[in-house]
Amino acid sequence: MASAYWSALNDTIGGDPVESLIHFYGLSALRLLLLSLVLTPLVRFSRQPALMRLRRPLGLWAAAFATAHLAVYVVYDLQMNWALVLSEVIERPYITVGFVAWLVLSVLAVTSLPRLVRALGKRWKPLHNTVYLAAALVCLHFLWSVKADIVEPGLYILILAVLLFLRKEKLFRYFRSSKPHNG
Amino acid sequence: LQRELEFAKATSTQQTLTSEAKVTSYNNFYEFGLGKNDPRENAAGFRVDPWQLQLDGLVDQPQTLGYEDLFGFDLEERIYRLRCVEAWSMVIPWVGFPLADILKRAGVNSSAKYIAFETLFDPKQMPGQRSRLGGGIRYPYVEGLRMDEAMHPLTFIAVGVYGKTLAPQNGAPVRLVVPWKYGFKSIKSITRIQAVDKQPPTTWNLAAANEYGFYANVNPEVDHPRWSQATERRITRGGLGSDERIATLPFNGYGEQVAGLYQGMDLQRFY
């Protein structure tokens, strides 16, 4: 992350360092996020439970890259023109979706602190299952941001679809149990 | 590979030119890849000589210009602002001649109302055209101008940039430059210019009509459905933090010269 930033400062990362950096951070966030989600089925198939320990750092790095992605957009692209930042977040659906995804990831990152994990107890798991929602929003944000070349976002959407399919029963169960029971 | 050109130099400008390195490395040219940095790499071996530029349709004297013919006009330098529809901009010293020069040579009929342009179609050389998905646009890339726009003295055919022949990624050997319109109107590597009587199809309009109109005049009042067009990031030189975000001007600041072309037109509708 830092080396990309250093290259951007020194103008050695493509013709427009701002765009290069935004794309690099954004894509890295998406890839890390999907990688963290791939771990669960991978552990099951490979029977290597030790791999599970990677899930937390992968998720945290995804959140960090998402934060860097947003920060470069606000600071170097929109140049802290806050009125513009606000209007883009509110009026442009693809920015709105990306922003919501970042909010979700941030909440998940913060609630990964051991103390908060303990404090949340049983509620921690349903809360952290919203990572699938965040992943879906990130994919939509990517798809919506491109002008015409939908192949790359399509690929990530396919990966996410497969992941959701593999986890469908578990997710359905959480979804049902998190709804209030009214008889 | 690029050779020096002889031309009438532009008088100085107050605006900071975008560095040659950035002009030649940050390009939208889907025929050579979707990333902005791809065209420079993928177009490196692009053959521009021999070239054929066909000039036909509703003209008195259809003609075919070869590579050397492209440089047979009175070449001059024009420093133009280029505003991309993606809300970034550059300041670029083109070398070339007014489109009107070439149109006059062919003698456009009075029945012709529009000029249609076409980019080279050569999947062997242009990897983007090989892929079935092709970045989501149809090939060959096509563009068009209304006759009065085409004949306007600002409308320019570039055969060079920064004093040399064009680099392939900039649309070698011959491209259009229409400074008051979004960059995608300025079609690259042209092989055909046709005078026609009906409004010709244009590539980005075909791809997403609700986002890209036929006119595509730079207009801070009409936002792209997905982002604001009120401001732009001016790419000049240097790394992160060296660009300025500036207000976008109607007709990219060329309103004095071209606003008259659109008198009485609802530019919200004809975007």
Distances (CA, A) of A1 to A5, A16, A168, B56, B238: 6, 17, 34, 53, 20
Q: d(Cα B77, Cα B92) in Å, to the nearest integer? A: 10
Q: Is residue A50 part of a domain?
A: yes
Report how many helices (DSSP H) and strands (DSSP E) chain A contains, helices first: 10, 0
Residue A177, domain member (yes or no): no
Peptide bond before residue A180 is cis, with ω within 30 degrees of 0: no
> Would A48 be classed as within a structural domain?
yes
Six-digit token pair at B190? 């042209």
Cα B40 from Cα B249, distance rounded (Å) = 30
Nearest CA in chain A to B239: A11
Percent helix, strand, coil in chain A, to 5, is 85, 0, 15
Segments forming the whole domain that contains residue A108: 2-172
What amino acid occupies position B5?
L
CB contact under 8 A, B136 and A21: no
Q: Do A14 and B88 touch (CB under 8 A)?
A: no
| A13 lies in some domain | yes
Q: Which residues of chain A have pLDDT under 70?
A: 174-183
For residue A182, the model assigns a pLDDT of 47
pLDDT of residue A47: 86
- What the block records as the tokens of A33 is 């996020």
User: Which residues in chain B show pLDDT less than 70?
Assistant: 132-135
Query: How far does the CA of residue A69 sit from the closest CA of chain B (Å)?
Result: 14
**Interchain CB distance below 8 Å, A9 and B239:** yes
Q: Which residues of A touch B133 (CB under 8 A)?
A: 149-151
Q: Looking at the DSSP assignment, which residues form a beta bridge with residue B54? A: B64, B192
| B190 DSSP β-pair partners | B119
Domain total in chain A: 1
Per residue in B129-154, pLDDT (tens digit) is 987 665 678 999 999 999 999 999 99
Residue A18 lies in a domain: yes
Cβ proximity of B148 and B84 under 8 Å: no
For B233, half-sphere exposure in the C-beta direction (CA atoms, 13 angstrom radius) is 23
- pLDDT of the residue at A167: 83
- How far is it, in rounded angstroms, from Cα A13 to Cα A21? 8
With a pLDDT cut of 90, the percent of chain A lying above it is 67
Shortest Cα distance from B168 to chain A (angstroms)?
16
- How close, in Å, is residue B226 to chain A by CA atoms? 5
Among B21, B226, B239, select the one facing A8 at the smallest CB separation: B239
pLDDT the model gives residue B160: 98
Residues of B in contact with A76 (CB under 8 A): 240-241, 243
Decide if A182 is inside a domain. no
Work out the angle between the directed axes of helices A93-110 and A131-145 (0-180°, nearest 10): 150
Three-class DSSP category at B126: coil
What domains does chain B contain, in order, with CATH numbers? 20-217 (3.90.420.10)
Name residue B94's amino acid: W
From the number of C-beta atoms within 10 Å of its C-beta (0-12, 13-18, 19+), residue B118 rates as buried
Residue A179 inside a domain? The answer is no
> How big is chain B by its Cα radius of gyration, in Å?
18
SS3 content of chain B, % helix, strand, coil (to 5): 20, 25, 50
Contacts across the A-B interface (CB distance below 8 Å): 86
